[in-house]
Each structure stands twice: as structure tokens, then as C-alpha cells.
Amino acid sequence: MKKSLLLTYGIFLFLHSEVKIEDCTSIKSDQKRLACYDYLLTGKSQIMEKETPTLINQDIKQNNQISDEKNFGLSKRQVEQNASFNSTVSLMSSILDVFDTNSGKTRFKLKNNQTWESQSPIPERKSSFRKKTDIIIQEANMGGFWMISKKNDRRIKVRRIS
């Protein structure tokens, strides 16, 4: 009876805590990571009882701000392969090269070494997205991303390849 009550209490704390288990895995300091797991399981930490949630949240925010552009536009699977995901609101760059694929889609190599591909063939809008064109990539409302030409505000739906 006591074990089931303790387990139920532990699960309750885990589900309703401000800190999630995913947050604990992103902490680099062994001591702070252990304190995070302790806090999740028991509701308090042996290392720093009152300051643990604050320190953990500060450490998580610092880790999430490290790589904004690095993972912008990657799918969750791609991000997991690269370790972490932190999406920004928009990305500004310019097109280095444009390639056509066999399926009629267009691939864009950007100045920041990212490669993006149009979601569908874009023959009528291709002139707006040439080499050396300054572009903005923004998250779309219902998922996906828009590549927007700064010159004439034309947009195409794109996805990140690499």
C-alpha cells in the first residue's frame, strides 16, 4: 500500500512539476542534472533544496539559447539526430545556388550552409528566387516554412533538407 501511494505521489509530482524530464537531460553539469532528477522524483533536491527549480530553469534557458540558427527548420527527427532543437521566429540569409530536382522541385543552397527544398514545383516563381537573392524563412501557421524574397515579397513553401 505504501509503495503504491509513494509511486502515485511520485507520478503526480512528475506530471505537475514545472521542470520536465526532457529539461533535465539538456543540463550539462552532472550535479545540476542529478538535482533536477531528484527534484522531479521527490519534489526537493538534496543539493540545493530551495534554489533547485530556479537554477535548473536558468541552466535550461542558457542551453536553449546556444544554437538558434543551427536547427532552424529541421524536422523533429532531424533535430534528434543533431541533438537539440530550438526554433527561431525567422531566419535571414541569401541564396548561393539553385538546383532543380528530377521531381520538378527546386533546392536552394543558402549562405549559412543550409539546404532547403520547395514543397512543390515553382516554375512561375523561380525568377524571384535566383542566386544572390536575399530571403527570409519564416514558420508557417499550420506547420512548414515559407521562403520569402526580400525583393518582391513572393513566397514559396519550403522544407529544410540539411
Mean pLDDT in runs of 10 for the chain (162 residues)? 60 54 75 77 58 54 56 75 54 92 92 92 83 90 87 90 89
The pLDDT score that the predictor gives to residue 4 is 63
Q: How many CB atoms lie within 10 A of CB 108?
A: 26
The pLDDT score that the predictor gives to residue 18 is 57
Identity (one letter) of the amino acid at 95? I
Question: Using CA of residue 92, residue 111, residue 106, residue 122, what is the dihedral sign?
Answer: positive
The pLDDT score that the predictor gives to residue 47 is 56
Quote the CA–CA distance of 136 and 113 in Å, as a whole number. 15
Q: Which three cell numbers stand for residue 12?
A: 503526480
The pLDDT score that the predictor gives to residue 25 is 75
- The distance in angstroms from the start CA to the end CA of the chain is 53
Q: Which three cell numbers stand for residue 61?
A: 534557458
The pLDDT score that the predictor gives to residue 20 is 65
The pTM assigned to this predicted structure is 0.47
Q: Which three cell numbers stand for residue 23?
A: 529539461
The pLDDT score that the predictor gives to residue 31 is 79
Nearest by Cα to 53 from 40, 65, 62: 40
